[in-house]
Every structure is written in structure tokens, then in C-alpha cells.
Structure 1
Amino acid sequence: MNKPDFLFLLLGASYSSFRFAKEFVKNDLKSEFKYDLELNVSHDNPELKQFDIYPDDNGKKYFDLTDKEVVEILCRKNKIPVWIDIAVSKSDRKKTTFKLLCAGRYSDDKNEFYYTDGGSGPFGIKSPNHPIGYKEGTKFKLKKK
């Protein structure tokens, strides 16, 4: 997958996640987006030959990235993680921050992407983490930066 196509998917998933989060949170979410990124959450076996795997990514985290920085980090040899969970995680007066949790398996085969059937490629739209004691139907505040 080339970088412009991946950026298109990232922006679409961000907007979907942004809209979904509004159902749960009291915060006034801003349309300026930033990203916190966690690589190789799946800790895949480097012996898998079907995918590109980067064991050096274990434990790597990046914070306060732009969409273009995310694309630069995740697009490797025109391959991207086969799944990326995206959820709103923080909000302040200027921006909304998404957490991206990424598989360690990289592919350029769209059939390998977990959420292709839903139209979001590798992106799984998740709700913000609910606080302890969350009651369904009630909105909660996200932490601020």
C-alpha cells in the first residue's frame, strides 16, 4: 500500500473514531488530530514468513504524532500492519489524541487486513476506554493532557 492510500485510510478511520467517541464522552472533541502509537502489540513470531515482522519494534511507543508522521513510521516497503486499533484517548482545548495499537505483522495484501470488509483496511474503530464503574448510556470525561 502506498503512503497516500494509507493516509486516506488513516484520516477516514480517525474521523469515524472521532464521531464514535462523541457517543461516549462529555469532552468537546476538537478536529485537530494527534496520535500516540504503540508498535508490535501482537508480539509476533519473527519466523512467520508470510509477513514482514520487525522484532525491534517490541515496546516502541511514539507520542503526539501528526498523521504524516504516523504514515512515515507505519508504511514500510509499501506494507502496513494487518490490524491497527484506533480509539480516542485524550482531549484538550486544542486537539483530540488517538491511540493506535498496531499488529507486528506487515503486509501489502489487502486480504490480510483485518477490517477490509468494513472498508477501513487495517483499522478497527474502538470506543474510548471506559472508566471503572462505567454505566452504559452515560457519558464520561476523558483525561486531559
Structure 2
Amino acid sequence: MTRDEFILHLRESSLIALKFAEHFVKDKLTTDFKYNVILNASNDDLNFNQFDFYQEDNGIIKLNLIDIEVIDLLYRKNKVPVWININVLKSSRKSTTFNLLCAGRFTDNKEEFYYNNKIGSTPFGIKSPELPIDYSQGKKFSL
């Protein structure tokens, strides 16, 4: 995946995740996006030599990034995490913030991605906002 493709996938996935979240939340979600990135969220077997691993990323969380900062962080040696879960976390009058929960395995092989699809979100998996404990299906909630 090229850097430009990765940027397009991040932006497209963000829009899809925003539209999906609108089914759940009362909040007005804007298209000025911020991102919180949680690195190495997978429990990886380091013996898989088809992947790159970055053990120094363990426990690292980067907050309030813009899209280009996300790309700078996650696009490494022409490789990206094999999966990145994206969901709306919060909103303000000025921006919508997403969580990006990232695998610790990096690849340039599209066959290794968990979320191989044709809607433009690979390697991103679109997830719902975190549902409240008392969530009732069909009832919208505030973030």
C-alpha cells in the first residue's frame, strides 16, 4: 500500500465510521477529525517473520493527532498494521475524535490484512462507538 493510498483509506474510513456512529449517538459529529492512536493492541507471536514488529510501541498511546500525523506514525517502511479498528470516541463543537486501535504486526502484503474489502477502508475495521452499559437497541445516546 502506498502512502497516498493509506491516507485515502484513513479519510474514507473516518467518514464511514462517522456515518455509522450517527446511527447510535445524539451528538452532532463534525468532519474536522482528530485521532487517538493505541499502538500494539494485539498479542503477537514475534516468530512470524513476514511481519515487522515494533516492541518499543508497547503501551504507547498518542492523543489528538491529525490525519497526516497518523500517517507519519503508522506508515513505516511502506508497511501498515494488519488491522486498525476505528470508532468515534467523542465530539465537540469543533471536531470529532476517533480511537484507532492498532495491531502490532506491520505488513505490505494486502493478503495479510484482516479487513480486506472493496469499500475503501482496508486495513481499517469500522466499529461502533463504545456502547453505554444500559444501551437499548435503537435508542441514541450521548458520547
1:117 aligned onto 2:117: yes
Match of 1:126 in 2: 127
Conservation of the 8 A alpha-carbon contact between 1:10 and 1:67: yes
Q: Is the 8 A contact 1:46 1:55 kept in 2?
A: no
Q: Distance in 2 between matches of 1:95 and 1:77?
A: 30
Aligned-pair distance for 1:47?
2.4
Structure 1 unmatched runs, 5+: none
For 2:39 and 2:48, the matched residues in 1 are separated by 17
Number of residues of Structure 1 aligned to a counterpart in Structure 2: 142
Matching of residues 1-145 of structure 1 within 5 Å: 1-119=1-119, 120-142=121-143
Shift of 1:45: 2.5
Identical aligned residues as a percent = 51
Task: Give how far 1:75 is off.
Answer: 0.3
In 1: Cα distance, 2:125 partner to 2:114 partner: 8
Q: What is the deviation of 1:48?
A: 1.9
Segments ≥4 residues shifted beyond 6 Å: none
In structure 1, what is the Cα distance between the partners aligned to 2:117 and 2:129? 23
Q: Given the two structures, how large is their TM-score scaled by the length of structure 1?
A: 0.95
Please tell me the root mean square deviation across aligned C-alpha atoms, in Å: 0.9
**1:46, 1:54 within 8 Å by CA — same for their partners in 2?**
no
Normalising by structure 2, we get a TM-score of 0.96
Cα drift, residue 31 of structure 1:
1.0
